[in-house]
């Protein structure tokens, strides 16, 4: 199975700060990577797919980048509503696997 | 709009069985592979099961942690997907989510608690 190593495990950001979350795959996943936001008590919401494609309705301050085994999610200008957990998901090889998650809090 | 609505969760004892359901709408269900993903309390996400479409012979796939105990099925005439869970263990306690269209859409989840 492909292992997804996500970092950091937690992050505290100030209002307006730009932050990045990383996911590293144990092998090349050919940009088959998605990012999700999960707020407390809610189901995951898709933010980014195919490494850098913004899902409809997602604010443009969210962006994704990367290739091969290294991927990142950037939030350009932290907002209060961005608090939550963030997960990456590789869809390159079955079984699909998730990163362990990053808890993002507003400082 | 795409909607996925799970139901059937509850409290069961170890070794018991439970069947959860997911009602889908807003997309061509018969053309979509369907998945179950679970999340133990305070933990990350774990893919559980997958079922493909009729042209793919409704092929099914399972995580090693549930293989031989869980069975995923679907009824295209009703746009429903099911997860039959047998010989439940305490470690199966989790919120179970139905997801579709390449994990783009998720239901609200149904909570399964396995405890004596």
* Structure token digits, residue A48: 């980014």
The pLDDT score that the predictor gives to residue B75 is 98
Structure tokens at B53: 């479409």
Indicate yes or no: CB of A91 within 8 angstroms of CB of B102.
yes
CA distance B22 to chain A (A): 14
Please indicate whether, in this complex, the C-beta atoms of A96 and B109 are within 8 angstroms of each other. Answer: no
Question: For chain A, what is the radius of gyration of the CA atoms?
Answer: 13
Asked if the model's pLDDT at residue B66 lies above 90, the reply is yes
Looking at every residue in chain A, the average pLDDT score rounds to 96
- At A84, the pLDDT band (50, 70, 90 cuts) reads very high
pLDDT tens per residue, range A13-37: 999 999 999 999 999 999 999 999 9
Residue B101 — pLDDT band, cuts 50, 70, 90? confident
Nearest CA-CA partner of B36 in B51, B20, B48? B48
User: Which residues contact residue A21 at a Cβ distance below 8 angstroms, ignoring those fewer than 6 apart?
Assistant: A6, A7, A8, A11, A35, A72, A73, A86, A88, A102, A104
């Amino acid at each position: 199975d492909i292992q997804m190593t996500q970092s950091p495990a937690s992050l505290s950001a100030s209002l307006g700060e730009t932050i990045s979350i990383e996911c590293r795959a144990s092998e090349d996943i050919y940009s088959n990577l998605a990012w999700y936001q999960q707020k407390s008590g809610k189901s995951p919401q898709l933010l980014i797919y195919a490494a850098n494609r913004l899902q409809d309705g997602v604010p443009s301050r969210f962006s994704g980048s990367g290739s091969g085994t290294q991927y990142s999610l950037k939030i350009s200008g932290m907002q209060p509503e961005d608090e939550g957990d963030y997960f990456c998901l590789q869809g390159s090889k079955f079984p699909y696997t998730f990163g362990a998650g990053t808890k993002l809090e507003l400082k | 709009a795409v909607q996925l609505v799970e139901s059937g969760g509850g409290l069961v004892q170890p070794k018991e069985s439970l069947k959860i359901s997911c009602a889908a709408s807003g997309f061509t269900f018969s053309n979509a592979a369907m998945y179950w993903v679970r999340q133990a309390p305070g933990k990350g996400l774990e893919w559980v099961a997958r079922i493909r479409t009729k042209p793919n012979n409704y092929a099914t796939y399972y995580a090693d942690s549930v293989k031989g105990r869980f069975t995923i099925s679907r009824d295209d005439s009703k746009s429903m997907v099911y997860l039959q869970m047998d010989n439940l263990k305490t470690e199966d306690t989790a919120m179970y989510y139905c997801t579709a269209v390449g994990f783009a859409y998720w239901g609200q989840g149904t909570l399964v608690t396995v405890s004596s």
